[in-house]
Structure 1
């Protein structure tokens, strides 16, 4: 009797404050594990992009439609039994909970480093709509994931991109085998 083999699936949310390397790490990580990649910045409504470009931080009301889009993208990947990597700051637990809503295979990888490391990286970035002036609001908003949050892992980004991606791959092995 032949049993149908189903491949393991998961949606890895690469989260953290601006300039932790979410997009760079996410794209490299997705490539390494042969996963679909979605940059959550591309899912922001136009009004959010314009607001951040003007140096104004987003509030919960601004983020609500964006988080819904992230949740729906995760749902689609999960329903197709695929593996996906989505970049999304997911700074508050309520945001992460909203993304988890209706999804069973979401795994959060919290990219983090000391604020000084992040600020230095932010100053060296080009072509991004998030100015350095908003870094303080990002850290003020961040609710660091704790042990009570399911399927959430911390990844130190103080090392090289390759080292960070390797940490992500090590976590993914737990879920994908």
Structure 2
């Protein structure tokens, strides 16, 4: 599902392109102008909360770091719990950890081992879907913790990086929804 035209234009108009960041040749998608606009941020939160209602979500997962900013208000609006998926080593207590491949090397994300009740229905939210590695690792973590991934939702999908193809194989039929694809 993509955003209706009015919402798409509202959101796109508040995402700034920052050329050559964090390295030459990369165009960074800066969502801070969107977050600073209460109408745009509220509309985004409503769109994601609507997905939660459609899928009967119990918990909303936010991916570090900008996914936290998006997922937490969605969870509140949808009457669901919020669960952060963090970079390895950032959570206290017993955690589950999942490695994933980067362009040059690997990284790991983790979640509290007791973050979900058996059978919880979970929507994973992030700001940008690029190569799909972090989202894929998060989907695997949620399942290992005993919960059901009912979908992945992102504000912006960078279609040219083919993250959807990587992620859809592991979603096992659960939808991947991008409000905007470029």
What TM-score does the superposition give when structure 1 sets the normalisation length? 0.40
Q: Which has the higher contact order (CA 8 A, sep 6+)?
A: 1
Larger helix proportion of the pair: 1
